[in-house]
Chain A
Amino acid sequence: MQFTIEVNNRSIRAEKGETILSALNRNGIMIPTLCRMAEFTPTGACRMCVVEVEGRDRLVTACSAPVEEWMKIQTHSPRVIRARKTIVELLLANHPDDCLYCERNLDCELQRLADQLQVRERRIRASKIKPRRDQSSPAIVRELSKCILCGRCIRVCEEVITATSIDFMGRGSSTHVGPAMDRDFNFSSCIHCGQCVLVCPTGALHEKHYLSEVQEQLSSDNVIRVIQYSPLVPWALAGELGVKYNRDFDRVLNAVLRKIGFDKVFLSGTGTDILITELADEILRRQESGDKRNLIVSACPAWVKYCEQFYPGLLPILSTLKTPQQISGAIIKSAVLPDDDHQRVYTVSVTPCTAMKFEARRDSMTRKGISDIDTVLTVRELARLIILYGIDVSNIGPEAADEPLALRSSASLMAETAGGITESVIRSLFVKAGNREADRIAAKKLRAAGSFRETTVTAGGGTFSVAVVDGMKGFEKLKQMLDGGTVYDLIEVMACPGGCVNGGGMQPAGSREAVRQRSRFVWQTNDQEAVRGPEQSASVAALYGEVFEECSELADKTLFHTRFDKREVLL
C-alpha cells in the first residue's frame, strides 16, 4: 500500500512497512549512514541517519523507524545536521589523527562523513585510544585505535559467516572488538574470509600487506620472480584502477606484470582446470567402482579452516585436492622452475581472497620447508603495486602468459562464483560422456539465488547429485541433509556469499544484488569464450602429456593432494 508523507515541505510517496530511510532514498534524498548494512536488520546504533519528525521530541533514526502516514519529516534541518556533525566529532575525538598514514586514506567512510558534514576543526577533545595493532594473523590485521565500534564486522562474522570470531569486549570507554579471551587473532576461530574487512568503514580491519616483501624480491639479484593470478583478477583490477575492462585487459595484465619486473607470468586458471579435471576423474572413478560417498570440494581455504575447527568429523569426506593456487604453485616449483642450488624461485599469487594468504603458509602446503607460493596478494594490493611502479595500464599492448600455464578455460573463470566449480565439473562429466552440450537446466538450478542449492544430472550412463553451499549460512541446510543420510557426488562450499566474486580481497560489493551482478559478468563471459573446459585447453593437454611425465611426484599426482587436520582453536 502506498501513501503520501511530507518530507522537507514536499510530498513523497512511501510504501507501508518500509523504513523512513528506504522511502527517502527511493525519492532521491540521501541520508548518511554508518552502522547500517544492506540486507541486515537495522540497529539504529550509530544515530548518523537521524531525521526530525514533527510531533516527536527526539530525533528519529531513519534506518530503523518504519514510515507512517502522518509523518512530516525534516531531513536536513539545522538541528539534524548539528546532531550528525556532533556524532562525527565525537567519533573523531579519540580517533588517531593519522589519516595520511592510514591504510584507508581517501577510501574511509569516517573521513568521507567528516568531509561531507564539513568538520573542519577539532571541537571535542578526548584522550586518544592506545594504539594496538594485532598482526598475528597471516591474513587480517586489526588496528584497534581506528575502530569506531560500529559493529559491522561482528554482525557479518556472526550472521553471514557464522564463525562468530569477534565480539564487543568490555564496557563503556574500554569497549573494543576482539576475539575470544581477548587473545590475538591467530588463536581465534577466524577463517580469514575477509568479509569483515569488506564492511569495516575505517582502517581498523584490513588485509595483511606483503608488498614490501614483493618489492624486496623485485629488486634483488639471482631470483626468478614468478607471478600467477586468478581468472577474475584482470576484471577486478580494472575496477580497482578505474579503467574500463575489455577482454584484451586479461592479456594486457601479463605485459603489466612483466613491466613491474616479474620474469614469468602464469595463470592460476590452469590450476583450476587441473582441479576440475581431477575432480571429474575422481567422481567417475567412484561411479565406476560403485563407491557412493560424499565428496566436498576443498577449493575454498576459508571453508577448509571452518571445517577443520567446527566440523572435524567431516574431514574424511573432504577432497584432498589442493586449491587452484596451490596446484599451480606445486607445478611451478616442481616441474617448471625447480628451486635448487642454481636458482631461487620466488612465487607470488594474486587472488580475490584473503584466506589464501593463510593457506599458502599451511604446513601441508610446503615441501622440504619451501612453500609452493611464497606470497599471496589481494587484488587491492596488486593495484597498489602497479600504481607504485608507475605503470600506465591504458597504454600497454597485450601479451600472452608464459607456458606451460598460459591458458585457462572458461570453466576456470566459472569457479570464481559460487556453484561454478560444480557446473564446470558437470560440464567435464558431459564431455567425458561424449555429450558436448552441458545440462542447461542443472546450470539454471545451480545459479539460482539462495545459500543452499542442489540438483541431479544425468551424464553418460551415470546420475550425479550435487549440492552447492553459497555462504556459510547455507551450511546448516547441508548439515541437515548430510545428517539425514543424503549422499552427494559433489558438494561445493564457498565461505563468502556469492563465492570468490565477493572475496575478502575484492572491492566491497555493498549488496547482494551487486554480488549477483558480478556473477552475471562471469556467466556472460563464460558464454562468450571459446575454450569451454579443461579438455579443450592446450595448456592442460601439454601439462598432462609432457610436463607431468618429467616429474614423478606430478605423474602420480601426489603433489596435487594435501591433508587436513583437526584444528584446536578457541571456538
Chain B
Amino acid sequence: MSILIPLLILVPLACALVIFFSGPRAKAMVPFGILAALLTLLLSVGLCFEVYQAPSRLAGADGVTEPTIEPKVSFISDTLRFVLPISVGGHPIDWQLSFGADGISALMVLLTGIIGFFTVWLASSQIEKRTETYIALLLVAISMLMGVFLSMDLLSFYIFFEAVLIPLILLIHGWGNGKNPQAASKRFLLFTLAGSIPMVVGLISLAMSPNIHGQPSTVSFSELSRLASQAVSSGLPVGTKDTWAVWLLLLGFGIKLAILPLHTWLPMTYAAAHPNTTSLIASVVAKLGLYGILRIVIPLAPVALSIEAQMVIGTLGAIVIVYGALVALSKDNLREVLAFSSLSHVGFITLGLMSLTREGLGGAALQMFNHGLITAAMFWILSMLEQRHGTISLKSEDRGLAAQYPKLAVLLVFFTLAGAGLPGLNGFVGELLTMTGMMRVCATLVAIAVLGTVLGAWYGLRIVQRLLFGSDGPRVDAQHRSLSGTDLQPREWLPLVTIGVLCLYIGLFPMRTMKLFQPDTDRLAKLVEPVSKQTHRDMDTLVVESTNP
C-alpha cells in the first residue's frame, strides 16, 4: 500500500476544486496552482523512487503462469468495488478496483508530472484571460491522466481514460487561439468518443473472458494477464470472439494515438488549441493510446493481436512515419508542421510496440517518454515565438530570428536535433531500439521507417533554416507584441533547459532510465515473443544471433 498513489490523483484534483470555488479571490490563485503542480511533480518523482527501489521479481522457473502485469507499488481498498445486478454464467459481477504502478506506469507518471508542472508554470505567463480557470482545468487533466497511468484494472482505466476528455475539451474550446477552436473541440470529442465508446465493448468482453473457463469475471490486470499467459502456455486455441475485442480496443487506442486513417482530428486540434494546451495533449494525452496497447492489448490478448492485427497496425505505423513527415514538409504553419512531425514520431513507437519483441517493447516504452519530452519542448518554443510574433509561418522569408533570440535559437536547434534522432540525444536511443525490434519481424517496414528519419531531419532542418537563419537579418513584425524583440526570460528558458538536460541524460545513459521499466517489458516480451514467433515463422531469420539471452 502506497499512499503516494491516491495522493497523485487527488492532490491536483483537490487543488483544482479549490481554485474553482475560490470565487472573487480567483485571480490570486495562480501561484497556488503552480504550487499544486509542483507538489504533483514531487509526488511523481517519489513514486518513481519507490518503484525503482521495490524488489524486482523476475519471472522464475514457472514464469509463464505468473501474471505479466505486476504492480510493484499498489493501492487496493475494499471500498472501491463495483457490483452489478447481473450474473453471467452463474457468477455475479463483483469487480474490485485497484491502483498501482509498475515501471512503465511510473515512467508515464513521471512524464505527466514533469510536463504537467511546466505547462502550468508556462500558462501563468502565456495565458492572458481567465488564467486561474485554465490552470485549474490543467490540474484536472493532470489528475485524470495520473488516474489512467495508475489504474491497475480495466474499469478504473476506462473511467479515467474517458474523463481526460472533459477538461481537454473545455481547454480547447475555451482557450483555443487558432483556427476555429469550436469545430476542433467538437471533432476532438466525437473522434475520441467514436473510439472509446466501442472500446468499452471490447474491455467488457476482456473482463468476461474468464467466464469461458468457468471462473468469475474480473477486471484486474494481474488476474487477467495471468489467465492470458496460462492460455498461451497451454496452447489453447483462440476463439473468434477475442478478435472482436482486439479490434474494438485497437480502434479506441488507435484514434487516441492518431493512427493513419483515424488521424484527422489531430492536426485540426493542434492547430486550434493554444500551444501550451497542445504540449500537454501531444506529449501525454497522445500517449494514452500507446499506453493502452502496451498495458491492455499486448498482455491480455497476445494471441489474437499477433494473428490479427500485428502486421496491419505495424504497417500503418510505418506508413504514418513517412506520411507525417511528408505532410510536415509541405505545411507552412509551424503549428501544423509540429503536429504532423509529432504524428510521424508516434509512428516509431507504434512500430516498436507491434514488433512484439524485447527490444521493440523496451524501446517503445522509452520512446514514449522521450517523445513526450521533445514534443512538449517544441510546442513550448512555438508558444513563446507566437507570443512575440503572432502566427509563425515558414512560407515567405528567411526570418533570421537567431540574431534576435540567441538563447531560443540554441534550444530550438537542440530539440530539433533530439527529435531527428541525433546520436547522443534521447530520440536516437528510442528510435533505434524500436527499429531493431521490428527488424527481427519484418525488415521491409524498417526500411520504410528509416526513410522517415531522413525526412525527419529534412523538415527539422527546414524549420531551423526558415526561422533562425537567413539573409534578411533581424526584423520586427508589424504587430508589436509585448515581448517581441526580447530573448527568453528565466521563467521561459528554465523549463526548456530542464527538459534539455533530461534529453541529454537519457541520450548518454539510456540504460539507467531503462532499468526502471526493463523488468516489466522483459516479462511482457517473454510472453509475447513465442506467440509472435508462432505467427511469423520467418522471424529472426535476418538476425543471425538473437540479442535475446
- A and B form one complex: no
